[in-house]
Every structure is written in structure tokens, then in C-alpha cells.
Structure 1
Amino acid sequence: MDSEVSCKVGGSGGGGGDGKLAYNCDNYDLDGDNDDGGAAGKDWMTNEGTYGPLVGGTSFRVPLGLARELLLPKNAVLDALDRSKVPFEIAVGVNGVVWTNSPEPLMTIVISNAIRNSEVMAEDLVRGMVKVMVKNAKKELDG
């Protein structure tokens, strides 16, 4: 089955809303085969749904081109962050809003800065940048 996942991260802030950020992911079946057998989707009440509030962390805007790159299965900065063994969560919206969270606030900042910096760097430089940023942050956290 060929499918495409489109995720949107958006908020209700700025327009008199509560300022909360939420995400929604839709999986589009591109070849017309629906192989779910009519099974019910995951329930949002159990936090297993495909939409809901994003709690904690930080959000920031990136150019739409970078957002699209972050949604690709192979992405240099996300791969390098994953290899660094830093625990983190990320939600990338096709609208250019990125949300990220990590148990350590310093690492959340490192992750968001690495993502922003990756836009103007070659893949090999991105890997090196992430290694240095994570190493320095771990040194700072260790004391």
C-alpha cells in the first residue's frame, strides 16, 4: 500500500485562543486499497489517537522547504540526533511549525538549534555539528 502521511502542528494563540499547540496526522491511501478492514481508529481519549495537545517542549517556525525535508524518511539532522542517543520527541507540521521536547530543557534547545542550523549545511557538516552540540550540552549537564 502506498500512503502519504500529512501532519499539521498548529495553535490557537494569537487569535484570542488559549495558546495551546495541537497536532493532527492524516494517512492518505494513494493506491486506493484500504486494508484496515474497517477497524476503528485509535481512541484520542487514551492518548493513542492521531491528534491531540502537545505538552511541554518548545515550538518554532521553519521555512516550508525545511519542514518538508524534516518529514522525509531519511533526514540528516534527525538521523544525527537519533544516533546521539538524546531522547526527544518531535512533531513537524507541513505548515512550517516544529515542536520538540526532551527531558532536559538544554537538550530541547540544542535540538531546535540543530534543526534550524541544518537548513544551510551539507549533510556531513550537519552530522559533525550535532555531535559537537550534543557533546558540549552533555558536558554542561554533567557539571
Structure 2
Amino acid sequence: MKFLFLASLLLASPAFASSIQEACGSHDGSIRTSGGHGPFFTEITVMDYANNREEKLRDEDYAWKVEELSRTELKTESGGNQCRKGMRAPWGRTTYAREVRITKESGQAFDKNTVGVSADLKAVEGTLICERTYSNIMPCQE
């Protein structure tokens, strides 16, 4: 009996779903960041000018620290808060610019050919344009 009661609670509860994602990139694509429910990474570019070749380095293991120096919101929009047939699906999107400084947690230097690297080779800096989106599906009372 106890099992039936617990099973009915589990099966009777409404389904919830949510998603949040942030994607950022510099004007030339040399710096990118991504987070949220999707892939979580920071990516920088090392240019080999002599051979006209570029290499993308990606940190997915949190070996680099991304510090936000400033943020300017450009546009915000949202909707979906209306209750229909007992459900609603709010969503939102924010577009903003942010200045970042990327350093290695170990304190080591970056390659001298890294795009946006500082004079001491300890940081990579750039301005990124970002889009952050979220969406939910949830029950509501009409």
C-alpha cells in the first residue's frame, strides 16, 4: 500500500522543464565562452602568422579563470507567462557586451601569439557580445 501511494505521487506530479544557455564571442571569434545547460567552455585563439594558421585552445576543465571587468546590457525581451490549459512557458533573452580577462589558475603564461594576450603574457583580454536565453515549462492555475 505504501508503495502504491508513493508511486501515485511520483506519477501524478506534473512535468517541469527548464533550459538556460549563455553564448559569447569576440568580434573576430578569437575568444568564446559558453555556459548553462549546454556545453561549458572558454576558448581562445593562438595565431601562427608565419604559416597563416590558427589554433583554437579550449578549456573545459576550469584551468582558466574568466573575470568579468564590465557589462553593458543591450537588449532584453521575455514572454510566455500566460496560463493556457494549465501550463505556461516563460522565456527570456538578454543580449549584452562584456569585457573579460582570462588567466590561468596555475599562474602560467599564455603563448605570445595568443590573440588579445597582455604584455606580460599572464592574461587574455577582450570584449564579447553575449546572448543569454532561458525557457521553462510549468503548471499554472487558470
Q: TM-score, normalised by structure 2?
A: 0.27
Structure number with higher helix proportion: 1
Higher relative contact order (CA 8 A, sep 6+): 2
Q: TM-score, normalised by structure 1?
A: 0.27
Structure number with higher strand proportion: 2
Greater CA radius of gyration, 1 or 2?
2
